[in-house]
Amino acid sequence: MTVRPILIAGDPRLTTPAIPVTVFDDDLAAFVDDLFDTNTAADGAGLAANQIADPRAVFVYDLVDGGLRHRGHVINPVLRTSPLPETMPDPDDLEGCLSVPGEWYPTGRAHWAEVTGVDRTGRSVTVEATGYLARCLQHETDHLAGRLYLERLLGRNKRAARRMIKDRHWTQPGNSWLPGTDTP
């Protein structure tokens, strides 16, 4: 198992849609383990393959919501949600991202989400959730669609994020950080 560098906003690999997985082998199983190891080392709730420069449609999640630990992975996910809010989110409804390290912005998400896909062996998987896990499922499937959560921001939050990206010089590809060794 390996902890891999995490790409930072500004890298075009984060905005490129993922490629569906068609080969289910030991390499894929090892890759899923690397995603878990990297997510754990980064103290993340979830991690998508393109965040570590891999184009496959895979994400992992490992978080506590409502006192329960939720841990799993989904390959080739398809997302369904309740309606998305169309107004400014509550200022306390913060979301962060390992590819936008150290930043948190109010982000509107659907209350309910369901992801269907397969696991590392090709068996069907369905994950249905509300709360924090629902937010995570939406966040990670957005990654695989080539969308950072910053694109979902509204009004002053969107403007603040644009300034932050410019101030941090995250406008060029190639920026990354390695959990466990770098401070993002």
Q: 70 among the known binding-site residues? A: no
d(C-alpha 110, C-alpha 123), whole Å: 27
Using a 10 angstrom Cβ sphere, with 0-12 exposed, 13-18 middle and 19 or more buried, the burial of residue 68 is: exposed
Would you name the residues annotated as active-site residues? 140
d(C-alpha 183, C-alpha 114), whole Å: 33
Q: 73 among the known binding-site residues? A: no
14 Cβ contact partners less than 8 Å away, ≥ 6 residues apart: 7, 50, 51, 99, 143, 146, 148
How many secondary structure helices (H) and strands (E) does the chain include? 3, 9
Give, as one character, the DSSP assignment of residue 52.
G
Q: How far is CA 24 from CA 17, 21, 135, in A?
A: 20, 8, 27
The total number of residues written for the chain in this structure: 184
Annotated binding site for Fe cation: 97, 139, 143
Annotated binding site: 97, 139, 143
